[in-house]
Amino acid sequence: MQCNIKKSTFDHYWQSLANPILANPTEKVSTALKTLDSLLNWENVFGNDHSVEIEVGSGKGKFLKESAQRNPKINYIGIERASKYFKRSCERLAKHNITTARVVYCDATYFLQKYVADQSVNAFHIYFPDPWPKKRHRKRRIFNNSIWISELVRTLNNKSGEIYIATDYKAYFCEIQELFDCHPTFEYCPLKSTETNYIQTNFEIKYRKQRRPIYRAVYIKP
């Protein structure tokens, strides 16, 4: 069973790199990103000049949908590399006629490297990233990827850009905290980290029902 899971994970990774897609669910329009010869211009993507926030791992699209409904003056990008959940996110946004959200089928690090301009993202939402709990797999954790960290720094707005993080895995959370606390670019924001009026993802709802502790943090570019 474990072999099947690993194979599926890497299948999703390579498939999303081979054919990255930017979807506008309400208009039922998709763009093959490899046809582009320049970085994405958010104003062209959304048809407005609102700020942009990115969710890494959009899953079933709950956070994207509810965030767009709550904050109509913010544009949202959801990145999902599993084709099943990419489709689920698109279906959810289309069903609720969400016009200020798009879904990207791609690996997150690759998407930032190839298609996102410097300082063009106001916030990243990184909720329940795969903790890869086995020691031999920990190098696969997204926050253990130095390229990913450098791309966060490059693409996040220098004027109080924000990174929202949540996980149920304490050891991983401690590693993430140590990474950001030691990084010269970021500053911990205790007030936002302890807010309670936030949108819960499907994973958080599930884990809270199981009485798992949830660890959250917000870091900003001061």
109-122 burial string, b = 16+ CB within 10 Å, else e? bbbbebbbeeebbb
Q: What is the pLDDT of residue 2?
A: 34
For the entire predicted model, the pTM comes to: 0.91
- Gyration radius from the chain CA atoms: 17
CATH code at 100?
A: 3.40.50.150
Contacts of 212 (CB under 8 A, 6+ apart): 168
Tens place of pLDDT for every residue, the chain, 222 residues? 333 334 444 455 555 567 899 999 999 999 999 999 999 999 999 999 999 999 999 999 999 999 999 999 999 999 999 999 999 999 999 999 999 999 999 999 999 999 999 999 999 999 999 887 787 877 888 999 999 999 999 999 999 899 999 999 999 999 999 999 999 999 999 989 999 889 999 999 999 999 999 999 999 998
C-alpha distances in Å from residue 54, one per residue of 38, 76, 122, 154: 19, 6, 8, 14
Asked if residue 216 lies in contact with residue 207, where contact means CB atoms within 8 angstroms, the answer is no
pLDDT in tens, 165-192: 999 999 999 999 999 999 999 999 998 9
Q: Kindly name the residue from 37, 118, 130, 168 that is annotated as catalytic.
A: 130
Q: How many domains does the chain have?
A: 1
> Tokens representing 180?
């950001």
Q: What is the pLDDT of residue 15?
A: 56
Task: Answer yes or no: 107 catalytic.
Answer: no
Q: What is the pLDDT of residue 30?
A: 95
Asked if residue 112 lies in contact with residue 156, where contact means CB atoms within 8 angstroms, the answer is no
Determine the structural domain holding residue 15 and report its residue range: 2-220
Q: What is the pLDDT of residue 4?
A: 37
Range list of H helices, 19-119: 42-46, 62-70, 83-95, 108-115
pLDDT in tens, 26-42: 999 999 999 999 999 99
